[in-house]
Amino acid sequence: MEPVRLEIAPEVNLDYVRSDKFKTGTLSVQLITPINEKTASFGALLPSVLRRGTMSHPDMRSLSTALDLLYGSSIGCTVRKKGENQCIGFAASFIDEEFVPGGEKLLEPMCDLLGELLLDPVTRNGRFLNDYVESEKQNLIDAIRGIINDKSDYADLRLLQEMCRGERYGVDKFGSIARVEKITNQNFVPVVDDKDAFIGLITRKAIIRYCREKLFPED
C-alpha cells in the first residue's frame, strides 16, 4: 500500500503505511528542525532525557513495566540528520493486534505512552531531573567519542565539516562534546501552564532575552 499523508495540524503531518508483510507495527514521532551548531547537542540529548520517564512512570523500571504489559513493546530514541535538518524523536514497536490474545488493542495505549513522553515528562520543580540529564550527557559524549575512535566514520565527519564549514550541512547530528558538556538541567526549562501541564521547552537564554526586551525596551 502506498504511503498516505494527512495534515492533522499546521506543519504537523501523519504518515500512514499499511502492510501485511510484518507481524509488528511501528509508531514513530519525529520532530524536524533546521540543524544548528549551537543547538544540535541540545536536540540530540532531548529524546534521551525525555525517554527516562513520565510523571506517571517516573523511572526506567516503571516505564519498562508499562511496556511489558503491552506484550513486550519497545520505545527507542532517534537522532538523525536529513540534509540541513535535525530529526529527533521516538520509534515504538509492538506486535500486530491480529496476534494479540483476546483481540486487545495496542495502538491506542502506545499512542498514549508516546504522548506522555513528549508532553508529560518527569520533572521536579519545573526542571528535568539532574541525574537523568547528567547520565544522558555522558551517554551522548560516549557516542561522539565512538565516532571519533572509528577512523572511517571520523574521516567522513571531518570531510563534511571542512567542505561545509559555516554551513548547516557540515554540523553533526550529535553536535560536539564541548557543547554537550555545557548543558545543565537549567538549560532545559520545561514550561508548564497553571495546571502544571507540560506545554514545551525553553532555554534560560531565551527567558533572559525575553525579560530584557520587556523590561528594557529600546527607544
Give per-residue pLDDT as tens, 59-113: 999 999 999 999 999 999 999 999 999 999 999 999 988 888 887 889 999 999 9
pLDDT computed for residue 29 by the predictor: 92
Is position 149 within any domain? yes
Integer Cα distance of 137 and 64 in angstroms: 21
Is position 163 within any domain? yes
pLDDT computed for residue 77 by the predictor: 95
Is position 198 within any domain? no
pLDDT computed for residue 184 by the predictor: 82
Is position 160 within any domain? yes
pLDDT computed for residue 103 by the predictor: 79
Alpha helices in the chain (DSSP H): 40-50, 60-68, 107-119, 130-149, 151-163, 177-181, 204-215
pTM higher than the cut 0.75: yes
Instruction: Give the number of residues written for the chain.
Output: 219
Are 184 and 45 within 8 A, CB to CB?
no
Classified as helix, coil or strand, 141 is helix
Per-position DSSP letters for 72-128, written without gaps between them = S-EEEEEEEEETTEEEEEEEEEEE-GGGSGGG---HHHHHHHHHHHHHSB-EETTEE
Whether the pLDDT of residue 206 is over 90: the answer is no
Higher pLDDT, 173 or 12: 173
Whether the pLDDT of residue 196 is over 70: the answer is no
pLDDT mean over 200-206: 60
> 71 is written with which cell numbers?
506484550
Is position 186 within any domain? no
Q: Write out pLDDT tens, residues 122-170.
A: 988 878 899 999 999 999 999 999 999 999 999 999 999 999 999 999 9
Integer Cα distance of 136 and 180 in angstroms: 10
Is position 175 within any domain? yes
pLDDT computed for residue 63 by the predictor: 96
- Binned at pLDDT 50, 70 and 90, residue 200 comes out as low
- Binned at pLDDT 50, 70 and 90, residue 185 comes out as confident
What is the number of domains present in the chain? 1
Residue 183: CA count within 13 A, CB half-sphere: 32
Contacts with 104 (C-beta within 8 Å, 6 or more apart), sequence order: 97
Is position 66 within any domain? yes
Q: Write out pLDDT tens, residues 15-60.
A: 988 888 888 999 999 999 889 888 899 899 999 999 999 999 999 9
pLDDT computed for residue 154 by the predictor: 94
Q: What pairs with residue 91 in β-bridges?
A: 28, 76
Please give the residue range of the domain that contains residue 158.
4-181
Q: What pairs with residue 79 in β-bridges?
A: 88
List the CATH number of the domain containing 163.
3.30.830.10
Is position 210 within any domain? no
